[in-house]
């Protein structure tokens, strides 16, 4: 199916898959850069969860017969890598403003992911292919990720603006 004839659901799920790939890269980068402190520990745990969430999304796509859009995945990969190069504050001041912005970017992704699980929950009852997918558990995990990231974000803001 060409890009112009893809269904709204195919585009939506592939956009989220691309976002999850970029978010996973951001989380892994923060965890690596902040290894040995609370930022690294918490975001490292969240990175592992994001990896599981991405696998759950890929399972949903498989159940629905939706393939991966390699163009979207490549663009997301490139954008995440470009962010590394273009984010001067992150490179020069990893504990300051750059960390705050990276945490906020990660939170945006998790918020979107929570919305994905909610949207799919609304269609779960009408689509038997989604039976067995623990969408409520995935949404609760996104809420937990947001709560942990918010604590780190507020700490990073206080440190950056001190």
Q: What is the mean pLDDT of residues 130-157?
A: 96
- Per the structure, the complete domain to which residue 59 belongs is given by 3-160
Kindly state the tokens that stand for 145: 């990720």
pLDDT band at 87 (very low <50, low <70, confident <90, very high): low
Question: Which is nearest to 8 in space by CA: 130, 112, 119, 118?
Answer: 119
Number of C-beta neighbours around residue 29 at 10 A? 19
Hey, which of 77-81, 88-92, 128-132, 153-157 has the most confident mean pLDDT? 153-157
Q: What are the Cα distances from residue 8, in Å, to 3, 15, 52, 135? A: 11, 10, 24, 20
pTM for the structure as a whole: 0.84
Per the structure, the count of domains in the chain is 1
Report pLDDT digits (tens) over 14-50: 999 999 999 999 999 999 999 999 999 999 999 999 9
Q: What is the pLDDT of residue 77?
A: 52
Please report how the helices 8-33 and 97-124 are oriented relative to each other, as an axis angle in degrees rounded to 10: 150
pLDDT of residue 59: 97
- The CATH number covering residue 111 comes to 1.20.1260
Please say if the pLDDT value at position 149 is more than 80.
yes
Instruction: Assess whether pLDDT exceeds 80 at residue 13.
Output: yes
What's the pLDDT score for residue 72?
56
Which is more confident, 61 or 71?
Answer: 61
Q: What's the chain's length in residues?
A: 162
Q: Which two tokens mark 36?
A: 């040995």
Residue 60: half-sphere exposure toward Cβ, Cα within 13 Å: 26
pLDDT digits (tens, 9 = 90+) for 91-135: 555 555 689 999 999 999 999 999 999 999 987 767 899 989 999
**Token pair for residue 62?**
């498989």
Binned at pLDDT 50, 70 and 90, residue 2 comes out as very low
């Amino acid at each position: 199916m060409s890009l112009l004839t893809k269904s709204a659901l195919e585009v939506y799920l592939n956009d989220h898959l691309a976002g999850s790939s970029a978010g996973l890269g951001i989380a892994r980068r923060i965890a690596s850069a902040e290894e040995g402190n609370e930022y690294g520990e918490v975001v490292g745990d969240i990175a592992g969860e994001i990896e599981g969430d991405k696998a759950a999304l890929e399972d949903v796509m498989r159940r629905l017969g939706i393939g991966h859009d390699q163009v979207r995945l490549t663009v997301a990969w490139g954008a995440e890598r470009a962010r590394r190069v273009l984010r001067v504050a992150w490179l020069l001041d990893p504990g300051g403003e750059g960390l705050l912005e990276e945490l906020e970017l990660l939170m945006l992704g998790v918020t979107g992911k929570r919305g994905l699980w909610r949207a799919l929950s609304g269609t779960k009852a009408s689509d038997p292919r989604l039976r067995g997918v623990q969408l409520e558990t995935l949404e609760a995990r996104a809420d937990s990720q947001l709560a942990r990231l918010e604590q780190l974000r507020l700490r990073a803001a206080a440190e950056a603006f001190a």
